[in-house]
A = this chain, B = another copy of it.
Amino acid sequence: MLSFESDYTTGAHEKILQRLCQTNLVTVPGYGADPFCASAKEKIRLACALPEAQVELLVGGTQTNAVVISTMLREYEGVFAAQTGHVNAHEAGAIEYTGHKVLALPQKNGKFTASDLQQALVLFHGDNAREHMVWPGMVYLSYPTEYGTLYSKQELSEIRAVCDEYRLPLFIDGARLGYGLMSRECDLTLPELCRLADVIYIGGTKVGALCGEAVVFTKNNRPEHFENRIKKRGALLAKGRLLGVQFDTLFTDGLYFDISRHAIDMTEQMKDIFRAKGYRFFLDSPTNQQFIILPNERMEALKPHVRFSFWETYDENHTVVRFACSWSTTEADLKALEALL
C-alpha cells in the first residue's frame, strides 16, 4: 500500500543488505569488538572531521537518548528540552525511568531559544532553588526537531554560548540528521554541527538502516566504563557487527548523505504537489516531514488509499496529519500520491 506514514516503513538500503550478506560468515568477536564496527567508527570520525571523537553504536533512538542522558548526567541532574522534545513528550518516560527529570522549556515550532534557556537557568540557580530544585546538567535538542524544523547556525551558536556560560553539555538528537543536513534551509555542515555539540547522534533507523544510531562524543567526553553501562541498560548487542556493517556502508562514499538528499528532493516535489492542489500546511517544515491540515472528510476519504500519520487535532473539522518521505520514496510514489489528492 502507498505509504507516507513515516520514514521507517521500509527495510534498509540495498547496499546494506548486500554487505550483510557478503560478510555474513566471517567470524568476529562479539559485543562491538569487530572490524566492521571499527571501520564504521573511523569513517564517521572522518565525516565529522573529528579524528579523535569517540563513536558508539546503539540500536534505537529512545534507547540512545536514555543511554546518553543517563550516562552523562550526574545522578542529581536533569536535562533541559523543549516541551515538545522527543525525550519529554514521546518516549513514554524513558528518561524518568533512569531517575532523571526532563526540564521542559517553552517552544515554538519545536524549537526553544537561547533566551528561554538562559531564563530557566537563572531560575534553577536562583536563591530559592538551593536543594529544592533539580540541578541542570545538560541541554537536549533535536535536529531536525519533532516538527521537522531546523535551528539556524545563529540560533544554535547562541544556545551554545549559554551552555558554555553554565558549563552544560549540549546533546543533539539526530534521529533524522541526514534529512536536516540535506535540507535546502540547512546552513551547517556535519563538522560544524559536531563542533557545536558535546554529543550528537547520527540516526540510522530512519535514514536507510534496519536499526542503529551512531553516538559521537565530540570532546573526548565519553563516560567511562561505557560498555559496562550499556550492558547494564540491556543495550549491548551481542552481534555488534549488525550495527558495524550498516554504518560502515552508510558512511562509505557518502551514501548517508546521498540518500538523505534524495529524500529531501522527494519531499520538495511532494510539497509542490500539496501546494498545487491547494492544501494547507500546518507549519513550514524544510525537512522530510510535512504537516498538512486536512478537512476531516478529506482525511477519511484518503485513508483507504494512502497511509499517513495522525498528528494532532486542529479544530472540530480539521486534523493535522503528517506525510513523510524517506530514502526509499520513489517518483512513482509521488505520482500515485498526486493522483489521489
- Give the B-binding residues of A (Cβ under 8 A): 1-3, 5-6, 8-12, 14, 17, 20-21, 23-31, 59-67, 70-71, 74-76, 78, 89-94, 96-102, 104, 126-128, 130-135, 205-206, 210-211, 224-225, 227-239, 241-242, 307, 309-313, 328
Contact = CB atoms under 8 A, between A and B. Distances in A.
Contact of A97 (B8, B232, B242, B312): B232
Considering the complex of A and B, which 4 residue pairs feature the smallest CB-CB distances, nearest first? A63-B234, A11-B24, A131-B227, A3-B27
Contact of A307 (B27, B74, B235): B27
B29 A5 contact: yes
Nearest to A30: B8
B234 A93 contact: no
Given A60-B235, A96-B96, 14 more contacts: A11-B23, A11-B26, A17-B17, A17-B20, A60-B237, A91-B132, A92-B135, A93-B99, A94-B231, A94-B232, A96-B100, A128-B311, A131-B230, A211-B242
A29 B9 contact: yes
Residue with the highest number of chain B CB atoms closer than 10 Å, among A25, A96, A313: A96
A232 B11 contact: no
A68 to B, nearest CB: 11
A61 B127 CA distance: 21
Given A6-B30, A9-B28, A229 B76 contact: yes
A25 B10 contact: yes
A67 B76 CA distance: 12
Given A92-B228, A127-B310, A134-B92, A241 B11 contact: yes
A90 B132 contact: yes
Given A70-B75, A76-B93, A227-B130, A17 B21 contact: yes
Contacts of A104: 104
A60 to B, nearest CB: 6
A178 to B, nearest CB: 15
A21 B18 CA distance: 9
A132 to B, nearest CB: 4
B237 A93 contact: no
Nearest to A127: B310
A307 B63 CA distance: 32
A59 B126 CA distance: 27
A74 B31 CA distance: 23
